[in-house]
Structure 1
Amino acid sequence: MNVNQSKMLRIFRRVGVMALAVTLLAGAATPGMAAPDTMAASKVAAGQERPELQAAIQEFVDIGFAGMQMRVHDQQGEWVGSAGVRKLGETAKPPTNGRFRIGSNTKTFIATVVLQLVAEGKVRLDNPAADYLPQFGLDRRITVRMLLQHTSGVFSHTGDYYDGTAMPGIPSAGQEWVDNRFRTYRPAELVRFALSKPALFAPGTSWNYSNTNYTLAGLLIEQVTGRSYAEEMQRRILRPLGLSGTVVPGAWSGIPGPHARSYYHYQDAGQWRTVDVTRQNPSWLFGAGDMISTTQDLHTFFSALLGGKLLPAPLLAEMRKAHPGGNGFGLGLRVQDVSPDCDGTIFFHNGSTIGSGALMYSTPDGSKTLTASVTGGNTEVDLVGEYPAALDNLLKEVFCGE
């Protein structure tokens, strides 16, 4: 495991989030929203026998995840499949058209909307964020770019790990989180909590992943447009792209439509416990990790974004530009170089919340994508050895195959 992976796994453990990625994380939704066609998905899966992909997702189940669903778009067409179980104690597989909490993939959506506002001249990327969010007394050296790039130095309200020191945040792990998982947090409350902590470094002088950066970015969208971030997301991205399976849930604890159950396996007073956490109030991750989506919608969104359909070319180039000390992070997405005999550079932004997580990968032009979700089960997953190995094998199968 490299240094970047090691650091992020420590962060996952710190916040109690079920790690499945190398990154972390108003309008109410209704259960009656349109669902992708289940029969169509089944026909696609049955029409393409790709045992190597099925074996790759089965590996995640074998190391302790309850279930996984995945969608791949490549030169062979579309493949969808799932492994494991939809619910502990039952045998049905997770639905391949299921909805799930996408965690920090939310950040890519948020960054896209902010950059659209930049394109319209309503926001300047290198202006002080305080110009748009005067209510928080932000350090005027913090720019909008620094929020999207994680170079602001602002403490993460979910807890932080910097320079070898772990610092607790709001309840985000163990029994305390379980007991408070239906609590509603106001985004301003999260920001003020984070700002009550000392800055980790002077703005722009270092890099540290902070969920609060994107809570601020979500509030910036609301301040500039005069609409909730949920409304603006619907108006700018979800409706134009036809993402009918994607929701900004606000404080609603449910998941609409078909979905697998998710579980949190944790220790309390020396005893291992497993709790069904499918229902949880996502307001603690406002703008940073609260959205719900499907593998189809994530494919459509990421392919459109990297294909140049959502941003002007200069701003897409800014988004894809990795910060030198930022573990490959640009503005709301991440870049990774795979071996020369594979697809070269790939872009991604994975995410997790307690009990579930999501993967979102693509080639630079959006022509080949991998989107997936995993759910936690009733066993502890080895995040140091087995999980990175399973992820590496999966990426090789998708991006290094013929």
Structure 2
Amino acid sequence: MSARIRTTLIAATAVALTAALAAPAIAAAPARGAAGHDATRRAVEAAIADGVPGATLTAKDRHGTWSTTAGVGNLKTGAPRSAQDRYRAGSITKTFVATVLLQLEAEGRLSLDDKVEKWLPGAVRGHGHDGRAITLRQLLNHTSGVYNYTNDDTFIRDHFTKDGFSEHRYDRWTPEALLAVAMSHKPAFAPGTSWGYSNTNYLLATMVIKKVTGHAYGAEIRARIIEPLHLTGTSVPGNRVTVPQPSSRAYSKLAASTTGPTYDVTTLNPSMAYGSGELISDSADLNRFYSALLRGRLLPPQQLKEMKTTVKVPIAAHARYGLGLADLTLPCGVHVWGHDGGIHGSSSQAVTTADGRHSLAFNFNGDWAADSDAVMAAEFCGTR
């Protein structure tokens, strides 16, 4: 987005997102109902012309399912992207985590008004942090003030610079180690007094899920969401460093600048994004997930209402944030619900209308400039 909330791991470390590569050849996939999505196709092609290597996109509405691809999935071979590509979905993970926590509330196993201290005694302490003053709800809507561990200077150096990434791309992180990074800093603000995106919030949410259920959050996502919805391209990889096939290569500048060399960052250990950006998925699965969520298939009415109760996002006038779910107002006035996601070499967006009947999910296999706003506006506001 042009001024969108930065709900991604990459953005949290101030990696700039502007154009750099020369435009690869464009190849759009034939699809059902393509004439009704001409504006979307043009927006995807324009994003590729601005420099990212490639894109894959799938939309689903009352007319059916339509997909398109553009650019390349492999800069060395020139192989195209696929409509079936799996990719690292980054912070889209957060909607899955929030859904599980809300399901647990619906089952009476916890309350979103519980303090973090109740479930993780003594865990949120240090440099002014106090889990006795933070609710689970404040974790999910980013009003807790807990320091974002991905803003730590050493973490940035070790994971988002060329030399650091080369040395540390396969490091295994535990949730406790990531939390210790956050607790070594002061809070961003007192709980409930402001809004500030923090990956640590969702790290803590997944720790609560494990405490309540006895299972790692990935197992709960599989049992509660992936399997019931038959999301065959979706997984929580843990320490697995590869992306399952079919998939494309992923590219990054590994610098705050968008000029200079482009690096292949496809393989990495995603435990650095535990609970906040670990998920792998594909566009068809993400459309199915968000449609099911907004249509009430995953949450009872009360919990879905809570999820859609939003707070103001100070840095984005057209966005509000609920519980792991953003409400975006497009230029034509249409509201869509969903999340964006970024991690090394991958920038994604998945949104749906409030009735869940028109969904869009897409991915760029480069973590610098790509105009996601323009693509969403084209699909939901363009000529149909």
Q: TM-score normalised to the size of structure 1?
A: 0.83
Matched, 1:48 2:34: yes
1:285 to 269, 273, 284: 273
Structure 2 counterpart of 1:355: 345
* Closer/same/farther in 2, CA of residues 119 and 18 from structure 1, 3 Å limit: farther
Q: Which amino acid aligns with 1:331?
A: L
Distance 1:19 1:228 in 2: 33
Residue 336 of structure 1: aligned partner: 328
Q: 1:238 aligns with which of 222, 226, 233?
A: 226
Q: Does 1:107 align with 2:94?
A: yes
Separation in 2, partners of 1:245, 1:134: 36
Residue equivalent to 2:55: 68
Of 127-136 and 184-193, more deviation after overlay is shown by: 127-136
Match of 1:153 in 2: 145
Aligned residues: 361
Q: CA shift at 1:76, angstroms?
A: 2.6
Map 1:261-280 onto structure 2 (within 5 A).
Answer: 261-267=249-255, 272-280=260-268
> 1:142-188 CA deviation, whole Å, 9 max, x = no partner?
0000100111111111117xxxxxx6645331121332111111111
CA distance in 2, matches of 1:68, 1:249: 22
Give the structure 1 partner of residue 365 of structure 2.
375
SS of residue paired to 1:373: strand
Distance of 1:131 and 1:221 partners within structure 2 = 13
How many angstroms apart in 2 are the aligned matches of 1:233 and 1:10? 20
Find the counterpart in structure 2 of residue 189 from structure 1.
177
Structure 1 residues 376, 137: CA separation in 2 closer, same or farther (over 3 Å shift)? closer
Q: For the residues of structure 1 that align with 2:256 and 2:298, how far apart are their CA atoms?
A: 45
Q: CA deviation at 1:99?
A: 0.4
Q: 1:270 to 1:15 in 2, by over 3 A?
A: closer
User: Alpha-carbon deviation of 1:324?
Assistant: 3.0
Secondary structure (helix, strand or coil) at the match of 2:133 reads coil
The question of 1:305 aligning with 2:293 is answered: yes
Structure 1 residues 209, 268: CA separation in 2 closer, same or farther (over 3 Å shift)? closer
Greater displacement, 326-335 / 277-286: 326-335
Instruction: Calculate percent identity across the aligned residue pairs.
Output: 37
Say which of 8, 12, 15 aligns to 2:13.
Answer: 15
Residues 8, 341 of structure 2: 8 Å contact kept: no
**C-alpha distance 13-114 of structure 1, shift in aligned 2 (>3 A):** closer
Residues 48-78 of structure 1: per-residue CA shift (max 9 Å, x gap): 3443332221111111111100001123321
1:303 alignment partner, SS class: helix
1:219 to 184, 207, 214: 207
Alignment partner, residue 202 of structure 1: 190
Contact 1:318 1:331 in 2 (8 A): yes
Deviation, structure 1 residue 272:
2.9
Are 2:86 and 1:94 equivalent residues in the alignment?
no
What is the one-letter code of the residue matched to 2:244?
A: P
Question: Given the alignment, which residue of 292, 305, 308 partners 1:317?
Answer: 305
Show the 5 A alignment for 1:123-162: 123-138=110-125, 139=130, 140-159=132-151
Question: How far, CA to CA, are the matches of 1:101 and 1:17 in structure 2?
Answer: 17
Q: CA distance change for structure 1 residues 324 and 315 in 2, over 3 Å: closer, same or farther?
A: same
The more displaced of 235-244 and 73-82 is 73-82
Deviation at 1:269, TM superposition (A): 12
Give TM-score scaled by structure 2 length.
0.87
Q: Using the alignment, how far apart are the partners of 2:250 and 2:177 within structure 1? A: 27
Mapped partners of 1:285, 1:366: distance in 2? 28
Unaligned residue ranges in structure 2 (runs of 5+)? 19-28
| TM-superposed deviation, 1:137 | 4.1
Letter in 1 for 2:176: A
Residue number in structure 1 paired with 2:354: 364
